[in-house]
Amino acid sequence: MQLKYEKMDRNAPCWCGSGRKYKHCHEAFDEKIRTFELKGALVPDRSLIKTEKDMEGIRKSAVINIAVLDEVADRIRVGMTTQEIDDIVYNTTVKMGGIPADLHYEGYPKSVCTSINDQVCHGIPSDDIVLQDGDIINVDCSTILNGYFSDSSRMFCIGDVSPENRKLVEVTKECVDIGLEHVKPWTFLGDMGHAVHQHALDNGYTVVKEIGGHGCGLEFHEDPYVSYVSRPGTEMLMVPGMCFTIEPMVNMGSDEIFQDEDDGWGIYTADGKPSAQWEIQVLVTETGHELITY
Ligand code: MF3
Ligand code: CO
């Protein structure tokens, strides 16, 4: 069996690029991962372990990512078009020296995703889409700064939202907060995903299975895929230096979804009932986690 963390020369420079000898750097870390790997656990490649320099770059990217959504939060209102949200995201990102990661990503035409009510995700902003009193909308923003990626999304309640829809928005936020509490090294992504799922189910909701979170930092979408319908003790082992998103899509009705055939992007609930999503980016640390975006 080929292990990802084979033993190496203890006096050689560490693989992480710190310049220190392996025995004074990642040797103990590798030993620990190897014990899990030998038990059959899915462990991250070394390419997924962020260095201090990577972490600094990702944090700086996140400063812009958070500021952009703060600006949207200040200005979003009834009567605004989703194109105006796109303009805010583009202009604020660029003014701060960043690049909207969504723009031209696999042909995506805009700088942000704006998904309203029964739209689950990947809603394309448009001059023709006007925010109505009572809408719930997810604004999903991703940022590149100096090649480092950050990603987050928030829900906004527009005007007078029904108690039912408001609760969906609030419980989905709770799902993310509960997921975050489960981010700690030497436990499994499935422990986290299961906790997220359980809170949604406890409130009578479902969680989308086909689309989840992802590693993020040196690329927009890295391994691992992060499911929120997973089982404890399964999926990838969380180890210090991994960075990924928690972004469950929670449906009021069934978990079935379909894709808009006309624009090729928009995802909707099959039953037309509302869906909500919040997204944060988190770094696994020695003792637990560091919140990167929110
Ligand atoms: N921001 C989304 C995510 O959380 C990805 C959007 S890709 C796009 O992963 F092309 F639709 F913008
Ligand atoms: Co994401």
Split at pLDDT 50, 70, 90, the class of 1 is: low
Split at pLDDT 50, 70, 90, the class of 16 is: confident
Split at pLDDT 50, 70, 90, the class of 141 is: very high
Query: d(Cα 181, Cα 289) in Å, to the nearest integer?
Result: 8
Q: How far is the CA of 279 from the centre of ligand 2 (A)?
A: 7
Report yes or no: 216 and 171 within 8 Å, Cβ to Cβ: no
Query: d(Cα 111, Cα 65) in Å, to the nearest integer?
Result: 12
Confirm or reject: Cβ of 84 under 6 Å from ligand 1.
Answer: no
Query: d(Cα 82, Cα 154) in Å, to the nearest integer?
Result: 14
Q: What is the pLDDT of residues 109-135, one digit of tens each?
A: 999 999 999 999 999 999 999 999 999
Split at pLDDT 50, 70, 90, the class of 8 is: confident
Per DSSP, the three-state class of 70 is: helix
Torsion of CA 22, 26, 28, 34, to 10 degrees: -110
Mean pLDDT of 11-24: 92
Average pLDDT for the chain = 97
Mean pLDDT of 14-25: 91
Mean pLDDT of 71-83: 98
Confidence check: pLDDT of 2 > 80:
no
Model pLDDT, residue 33: 95
Per DSSP, the three-state class of 150 is: strand
Give the amino acid at 117.
Answer: N
Report yes or no: 115 and 141 within 8 Å, Cβ to Cβ: no
Query: d(Cα 277, Cα 133) in Å, to the nearest integer?
Result: 19
Q: Whose CA is closest to atom 8 on ligand 1?
A: 102
Ligand nearest to the CA of 246: 2
Whether the pTM exceeds 0.85: the reply is yes
Ligand nearest to the CA of 244: 2
Helix H or strand E encompassing 199: helix 189-202
Q: What residue spans define the domains of the chain?
A: 49-293
- For residues 67-102, one letter each, b for 16 or more C-beta atoms within 10 angstroms of the residue's C-beta and e for the rest, the string is bbbebbeeebeeebbbbbbbebbbebbeeeebbbbb
Atom from ligand 1 closest to the CA of residue 106: 10
The dihedral region occupied by 220, where left means phi > 0, alpha psi between -120 and 50, and beta the remainder, is alpha
Q: What is the pLDDT of residues 231-275, one digit of tens each?
A: 999 999 999 999 999 999 999 999 999 999 999 999 999 999 999
Lookup: tokens for 280: 């944060």
Residues in the chain: 294
**Residue owning tokens 């799922």:** 197
Classify domain 49-293 at the CATH class level: alpha beta
Beta bridge partners of 259: 267
Confirm or reject: Cβ of 108 under 6 Å from ligand 1.
Answer: yes
